[in-house]
Amino acid sequence: MSVDIDPSIMEMIEECYFETVEEALGAGHTKLVAHKEGVTGASMLLASMSDMEDEEAKQAIVALNLRPGKTGAQ
Q: What is the DSSP string of 3-52?
A: ----HHHHHHHHHHHHHHHHHHHHTT--HHHHHHHHHHHHHHHHHHTSS-
Contacts of 20 (CB under 8 A, 6+ apart): 34, 37, 38, 40, 41, 42
Identify the DSSP state of 1: -
Per-residue pLDDT of the chain (74 residues; tens, 9 = 90+): 456 788 999 999 999 999 999 999 999 999 999 999 999 999 999 999 998 999 999 999 999 999 998 765 44
